[in-house]
């Protein structure tokens, strides 16, 4: 699937910035092939509008915010409010006589320390992450970085229980365990699915042992993995020592082969137990292992064909459900799946 060619994907929420990114003014973002500009007014109101001035096409993100928090084009000073309406043309005798001049305005929200944007009327709510409101949990913002991959590629990988043994053989995986003991049973819900799986993982090196407070050797991860259609997931991991490490990963589609990978986690320990730097460093190695493999893949996600038939492994099940659900979503809205290569 090529996300920029599926209009229905505009009708979902995507994180685009950490909240702190807006502390020093407006910021540009490329979302689903569109340039947008996002900012926060002095009174806290958030704004997201098209990043293109209707006068002579300057990028509004290169302008500045006036004292009321409206965005002034840096070229000739046309000024736009949070909804995208032009509220001032300084060269006019009556500068506020702007008529119907406007650029597109988008929905914008702040949740989990991040700024989320929907280009169209959202079909689903923002992902619900219970740990965000659970006593005893802290949030650690881990990653905000652009990868040269398609968003579906990252999502499918997030639910692929066969990849850790190979991709993560340098951290927690082992090729001696090509699959978890039991296959995930996928439970579908209106906005995605969940599955639960237990797997044995290695704890190797002081970094991992310190980040988990588990001695080197092997341990068990109990994982509840939730997919929030189309490109976000929650991975709730519980370790035998009671540590809960819940990872939220979003693959925000910038272009078909450009994705902003945004990851934050919630943990039921404290900074004194394990520092923020340790929490980030622990997952950094794991995420880099995924990145190395995924950036080498095609941005589209073709299925293997063997002897003229699609070939699936039992562990492909969550990814196949994801594809079916996305196909159903497209069909329900009169779209067909766009592909870079024939499937």
294, two tokens: 């995924």
86 binds ligand FES (CB under 6 A): no
Edge-first strand order for the sheet with 114-118 is 14-18, 114-118, 107-111
Candidate list 42, 43, 44, 56; residue touching ligand FES; CB under 6 A: 56
Q: Kindly tell me which residue out of 9, 49, 53, 250 binds ligand FES, with binding defined by CB under 6 A.
A: 53
Which of 255, 284, 282, 251 is closest to 156 using CA atoms?
251
Q: For residue 28, what are the CA distances in angstroms to 22, 142, 314?
A: 10, 21, 42
Interface with Fe ion: number of residues (CB under 5 A): 1
- d(C-alpha 273, C-alpha 47), whole Å: 38
With CB under 5 to 8 Å by kind, the binding choice for 75 among ligand FES, Fe ion, none is ligand FES
CB of 45 to ligand FES, least distance (A): 22
> Residue 73: which of Fe ion, ligand FES, none does it interact with, CB under 5 to 8 A by kind?
ligand FES
Q: Which is nearer to ligand FES, 61 or 191 (CB)?
A: 61
283 binds Fe ion (CB under 5 A): no
State how far the Cα of 2 lies from the Cα of 301, in Å rounded to an integer.
9
- Could you say whether residue 58 binds ligand FES (CB under 6 A)? yes
Residue 318 has which token pair?
């969550």
- Window of 30-38, 51-59, 122-130, 298-306 that interacts with ligand FES by CB under 6 A: 51-59
Stretch that binds Fe ion, among 2-10, 202-210, 283-291, 320-328 (CB under 5 A): 283-291
Residues 61-80 that bind ligand FES (CB under 6 A): 73, 75-78
> By CB neighbour count within 10 A (0-12 exposed, 13-18 middle, 19+ buried), where does 38 fall?
buried
Residue whose CB is nearest to Fe ion in the complex, by number = 290
Residue 16 CA to residue 13 CA, distance in Å, equals 9
Stretch of residues binding Fe ion (CB under 5 A), selected from 21-29, 81-89, 118-126, 290-298 = 290-298
Helix H or strand E segment including 329: helix 317-332
Q: Is the CB of residue 332 less than 8 Å from the CB of residue 229?
A: no
Chosen from ligand FES, Fe ion, none, partner binding at 339 (C-beta under 5 to 8 Å by type): none
> How many Å apart are CA 113 and CA 326, to the nearest integer?
28
CA separation for the pair 15, 109 (Å, rounded)? 9
Q: How far is the CB of 329 from Fe ion (least distance, A)?
A: 25
Q: Determine if 290 is a binding residue for Fe ion (CB under 5 A).
A: yes
What are the residues binding ligand FES (CB under 6 A)?
Answer: 53, 55-56, 58, 73, 75-78
Site residues (vs Fe ion, CB under 5 A)? 290
């Amino acid at each position: 699937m090529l996300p920029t060619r599926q209009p229905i994907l505009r009708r979902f929420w995507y994180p685009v910035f950490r909240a702190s990114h807006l502390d020093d003014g407006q910021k540009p973002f490329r979302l689903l092939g569109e340039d947008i500009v996002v900012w926060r007014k002095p009174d806290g109101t958030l704004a997201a509008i098209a990043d293109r001035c209707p006068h002579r096409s300057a990028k509004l993100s290169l302008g500045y915010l006036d004292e009321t928090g409206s965005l002034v084009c840096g070229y000739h000073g046309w000024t736009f409010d949070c909804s995208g309406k032009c509220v001032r043309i300084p060269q006019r005798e009556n500068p506020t006589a702007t008529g119907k001049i406007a650029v597109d305005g988008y929905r914008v929200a702040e949740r989990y320390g991040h700024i989320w944007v929907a280009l169209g009327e959202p079909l689903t709510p923002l992902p619900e992450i219970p740990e965000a409101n659970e006593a005893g949990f802290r949030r650690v913002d881990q990653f905000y970085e652009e990868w040269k991959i398609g968003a579906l590629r990252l999502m499918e990988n997030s639910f692929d229980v066969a990849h850790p043994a190979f991709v993560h053989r340098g951290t927690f995986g082992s090729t001696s365990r090509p699959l978890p003991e039991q296959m995930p049973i996928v439970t579908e819900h209106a906005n995605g699915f969940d599955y639960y799986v237990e797997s044995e993982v290695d704890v190797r090196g002081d970094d991992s042992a310190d980040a988990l407070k588990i001695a080197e050797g092997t341990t068990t991860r109990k994982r509840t993995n939730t997919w929030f259609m189309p490109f976000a997931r929650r991975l709730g991991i519980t370790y035998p020592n009671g540590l809960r490490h819940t990872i939220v990963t979003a693959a925000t589609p910038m272009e078909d082969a450009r994705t902003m990978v945004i990851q934050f986690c919630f943990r039921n320990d404290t900074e004194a137990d394990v520092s923020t730097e340790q929490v980030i460093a622990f997952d950094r190695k794991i995420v880099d292992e995924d990145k190395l493999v995924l950036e080498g893949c095609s941005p589209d996600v073709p299925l293997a064909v063997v002897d003229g038939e699609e070939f699936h492994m039992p562990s492909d099940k969550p990814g196949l459900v994801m594809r079916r659900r996305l196909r159903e979503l497209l069909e329900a809205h009169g779209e067909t799946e766009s592909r870079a290569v024939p499937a």
